[in-house]
């Protein structure tokens, strides 16, 4: 892995992790599902326009259309939908920590459900990662974290893990990666818009803080991080690129503390370190398996 790949990986992890803080700002002043639907609509249209400009087509294979719908439902509508609603009652750092366990959940489900081989390093990483979550959540539950919001975050991580295991090779065939990403966002936008109309009151407090956070979320975590991710995957492969997910809990908690002033204690510091090491161990075990 060269220095450019390391820089891209760090940039991706930082941009991706910052989304939890900007989201927390947005949902404090706008209905979460409606705001997320608009975000996906804008990002999806921009992504498709850029894909068309690059010569990509929306003539996808049947497998790609299936993958597009499943990821649009599970990743965009369920995973992010649950997280955006959850962050109306839980701190951004809590959402970042739970979301960061997705590689651990994928590893555990692959081992239990799909009987995938797991090395001692990978098994140790799973145990360490979930132990880190237990350390943090033990302290947070004593501090009064909202159980319903916490449950929504867990459901979101599970939805994304299931989609990751179910759909593979989404970018193979016709079309192109950017086109598939844009269409996935439109799927999420449509689903969330319907749900929002049915269950949410449309009450928005328009402030500069909301505008800045929304624009940032659309451009940086929404488009820039996605572009960097696929560039990184193309450079070093998906398995090596996924190793950078171990930085998500570290960056997510740190950014929330610096920008939102969310409190941290020794439970959080210890738990984040253990989770990060667990994710790193799981990803390194996958690298050894594919070599």
The two tokens of residue 54 are 């690059």
Which tens digit of pLDDT belongs to each residue from 23-66? Answer: 999 999 999 999 999 999 998 998 899 888 888 877 777 877 88
pLDDT of residue 171: 47
pLDDT of residue 166: 65
Residue 224 and residue 228: Cα distance in Å, rounded? Answer: 6
Q: Tens of pLDDT along the chain (291 residues)?
A: 678 888 988 999 999 899 999 999 999 999 999 999 999 999 899 889 988 888 887 777 787 788 888 888 988 899 999 999 999 999 998 898 888 888 888 888 877 877 777 788 888 888 888 888 888 877 777 767 888 998 999 999 888 887 777 655 454 455 577 788 889 899 999 999 999 999 998 888 889 999 999 999 998 988 888 778 778 877 777 667 777 877 888 898 899 999 999 887 777 788 888 888 888 888 777 765 555
The two tokens of residue 122 are 């990978």
The two tokens of residue 36 are 């997320």
The two tokens of residue 41 are 């609509």
What's the distance, Cα to Cα, between the start and end of the chain in Å? 14
The two tokens of residue 19 are 């989304």
pLDDT of residue 99: 86
Q: CA–CA distance from 124 to each of 193, 205, 223, 280, 282 (Å)? A: 42, 47, 34, 11, 8
pLDDT of residue 289: 57
Structural domain harbouring 165 = 3-290
Which tens digit of pLDDT belongs to each residue from 73-96? Answer: 988 899 999 999 999 999 998 898
Query: Structural domain tally of the chain?
Result: 1
Stated pTM of the model: 0.84
């Amino acid at each position: 892995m060269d220095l450019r790949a390391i820089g891209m990986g760090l940039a991706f992890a930082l941009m991706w992790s910052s989304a939890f803080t900007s989201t927390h700002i947005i949902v404090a002043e706008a209905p979460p599902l409606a705001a997320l639907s608009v975000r996906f609509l804008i990002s999806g249209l921009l992504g498709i326009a850029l894909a068309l400009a690059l010569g990509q087509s929306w003539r996808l294979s049947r497998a790609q259309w299936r993958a597009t719908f499943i990821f649009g439902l599970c990743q965009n509508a369920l995973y992010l939908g649950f997280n955006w609603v959850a962050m109306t009652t839980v701190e951004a750092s809590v959402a970042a920590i739970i979301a960061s366990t997705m590689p651990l959940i994928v590893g555990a489900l692959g081992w239990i459900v799909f009987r995938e081989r797991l090395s001692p390093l990978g098994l140790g990483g799973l145990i360490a990662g979930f132990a880190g979550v237990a350390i943090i959540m033990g302290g947070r539950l004593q501090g009064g974290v909202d159980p319903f919001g916490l449950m929504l975050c867990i459901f979101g991580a599970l939805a994304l893990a299931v989609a990751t295991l179910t759909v593979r090779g989404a970018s193979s065939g016709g079309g192109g990666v950017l086109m598939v990403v844009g269409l996935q966002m439109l799927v999420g936008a449509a689903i969330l818009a319907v749900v929002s109309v049915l269950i949410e009151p449309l009450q928005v407090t328009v402030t500069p803080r909301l505008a800045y956070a929304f624009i940032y979320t659309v451009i940086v975590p929404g488009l820039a991080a996605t572009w960097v991710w696929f560039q990184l995957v193309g450079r070093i492969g998906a398995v090596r690129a996924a190793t950078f997910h171990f930085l998500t809990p570290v960056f997510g908690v740190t950014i929330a503390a610096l920008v939102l002033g969310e409190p941290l204690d020794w439970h959080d510091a210890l738990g984040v370190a253990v989770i990060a090491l667990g994710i790193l161990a799981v990803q390194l075990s996958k690298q050894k398996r594919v070599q």
